Structure 1
């Protein structure tokens, strides 16, 4: 896919020479030496779109993001195939029809994401002369309720009937976490697996880590600050580093898990071995460590949800929403919560605060004497 631009191993001079040769050989440069796809194949168009605008070398993508991009591309390809269209055939009528199709078939948040992918593709096509018109101007996205919500509808043509918040109350969260170790079925390394799963639940619930951040943890991610408190250092969205304090209850489980593996509990910032790794069918669980993947983490949560008999929609990310809400309910300052959660903008954190305040309106209502 990246035959045109994947020269990361080369020096700058080699990179320039090979890229020039590739583009000139395929006639992809205009008289101004700008990228021009006016006469290119659709394969070149798609290859360059993904390499230059989607999976750029300077960005790291979570498994969730990669799946989303692939899903969006597959949706567009299927639509074109069903209507016997090629990318070259896309014009004003096709943009409007695809826009209508997406808005009718998908919930607002998914529709917005898929139409944003389509917009980026059309803009790239216009910038590179693959399309002669600025077609993305005809895209109209649906509105979506901001924040951590699921919009439930009775049917496609109906008005929205209920808004469900993607978070757990404290009782449900704690019960669900207690089910994490109970889903272990293997006899090999049962104790280690149970301790691992319980620690995963506690870290999700007490740190607000994103799933991708949790599976990326190494033993060297932990450190003591100057006051002797344990912190986890993570790299979040946009490669933004942040430090998260670890609660005493979670620290106890962390060390207990390490001891069950026969590992040292001495903090070692140089240790790049994964904190969580596959343990099934390993005679020596600490050798050949294969980092726990997002699908494996997702499966752990889903199996615990099923065992607990809770909402089947619950995913690892629900714990993050629960954590942020819990902080705000306990009067942790908004700016502190923003930094702790790794939100890029305080307006994101404020969405949680607005709902917390709404949930507390009964306090004010009870102060009003409506019966004389």
Structure 2
């Protein structure tokens, strides 16, 4: 039984039974293929049924010497554990060589956020005299105004925008849909983009319902959105590592700072657990801590 056969079975399991998103699926499969390549080259072609706990330990030790982040190492272990648990559940193996593996202890991850002034600076850096600039302006406003993931942004359908009731239907992770309120300002920009910019494109038939298109009339890629944001951030002179997700974090943080209920933020972000959304309360606590340290009279003496 070869690695490739079991990796294919594992892929089908994650895709159809666990309902993994494309991005998570790609990451898990990439991690297992990396293990397969190491087993082929460094472990005398050891197969998925023969590999042992000691083999996995050695593999992870060798990887750890390459100075990958703790978060990346934790994901490798998660992928490996999921793969071998699947082999046991599928009765291909009777033992699980990964069961004793322990990932690195991860501290609290506080995502980078932008201030409202930073968001305004980035938007001001866009040249809205061009069609591409107007499209990019609309994209940034939708990212920030609706708290979308980059995959949700590039897959957003015109038919899922209700301009009358002012909301978006967003198809999120695991094929879960949610409804996100649409501000009048954002709605106006989307309408103008559709009628004055998008209408000029010769649109690929498969993309007729996709909102944001490239200049060839096809769907945009995640990479292009990252590049656009990197260029705008540099142009705006903001010295932070900014990604499309930063706008999502900023959306949630600014809502919380202005008094929004955490449960509503959870709904709008599409988090299945309130625990995930609670990360933003830590951001608020960090802000309160800074206020106390900077302005409390006991700290100003």
The alignment status of 1:56 with 2:16, answered yes or no, reads yes
Q: Distance in 2 between matches of 1:144 and 1:191?
A: 44
**Cα displacement (A) at 1:362:** 4.5
The alignment status of 1:248 with 2:184, answered yes or no, reads yes
- Unaligned segments of structure 1, at least 5 residues: 1-39, 150-164, 183-189, 264-270, 281-288
Indicate the residue corresponding to 2:108 in structure 1. 146
The alignment status of 1:199 with 2:141, answered yes or no, reads no
Indicate the residue corresponding to 1:237 in structure 2. 173
Q: Distance in 2 between matches of 1:60 and 1:128?
A: 18
Q: Distance in 2 between matches of 1:261 and 1:358?
A: 42
- Would the aligned equivalents of 1:196 and 1:257 in 2 still touch at CA under 8 Å? yes
Indicate the residue corresponding to 1:125 in structure 2. 87
1:279-316 deviation line (CA, Å, top 9, x unaligned) = 24xxxxxxxx4222222222222222333343463211
Residues 354 and 71 (structure 1), Cα distance of their counterparts in 2 relative to 1, 3 Å cut: same
Indicate the residue corresponding to 2:97 in structure 1. 135
Output aligned runs, 1:1-372, within 5 Å.
40-52=1-13, 54-56=14-16, 59=19, 61-62=21-22, 64-85=23-44, 86-87=46-47, 88-104=49-65, 105-147=67-109, 149=110, 165-181=111-127, 191-224=130-163, 229-261=165-197, 263=199, 273-280=209-216, 289-311=217-239, 313-364=241-292, 366=295, 368-369=297-298
- Would the aligned equivalents of 1:96 and 1:138 in 2 still touch at CA under 8 Å? no
Query: Highest Rg: 1 or 2?
Result: 1
Q: Distance in 2 between matches of 1:66 and 1:92?
A: 24
- Would the aligned equivalents of 2:255 and 2:265 in 1 still touch at CA under 8 Å? yes
Q: Distance in 2 between matches of 1:338 and 1:358?
A: 20
Residues 83 and 312 (structure 1), Cα distance of their counterparts in 2 relative to 1, 3 Å cut: farther
Q: What CA RMSD, in Å, does the superposition of the two structures yield over aligned residues?
A: 2.8
- Would the aligned equivalents of 1:209 and 1:320 in 2 still touch at CA under 8 Å? yes
Q: Secondary structure at the match of 1:56?
A: helix
Higher relative contact order (CA 8 A, sep 6+): 2
Deviates more, 1:243-252 or 1:355-364: 355-364
Q: Secondary structure at the match of 1:135?
A: coil
Q: How many residues align?
A: 290
TM (norm. structure 2) is: 0.84
- Unaligned segments of structure 2, at least 5 residues: 200-206
Residues 296 and 246 (structure 1), Cα distance of their counterparts in 2 relative to 1, 3 Å cut: same
**Cα displacement (A) at 1:368:** 5.0
Q: Distance in 1 between matches of 2:101 and 2:130?
A: 54
Residues 170 and 371 (structure 1), Cα distance of their counterparts in 2 relative to 1, 3 Å cut: closer
Q: Distance in 1 between matches of 2:17 and 2:300?
A: 67
Q: Secondary structure at the match of 1:55?
A: helix
Residues 102 and 324 (structure 1), Cα distance of their counterparts in 2 relative to 1, 3 Å cut: farther
TM (norm. structure 1) is: 0.69
Q: Secondary structure at the match of 2:180?
A: strand
**Cα displacement (A) at 1:240:** 2.0
Q: Secondary structure at the match of 2:7?
A: helix
Q: Which protein has the bigger helix share?
A: 2
1:314-370 deviation line (CA, Å, top 9, x unaligned) = 211111111111111111111111111111111111121122123113545645557
- Would the aligned equivalents of 1:102 and 1:115 in 2 still touch at CA under 8 Å? no
1:155-194 deviation line (CA, Å, top 9, x unaligned) = xxxxxxxxxx422222222212333447xxxxxxx83222
Residues 142 and 246 (structure 1), Cα distance of their counterparts in 2 relative to 1, 3 Å cut: same
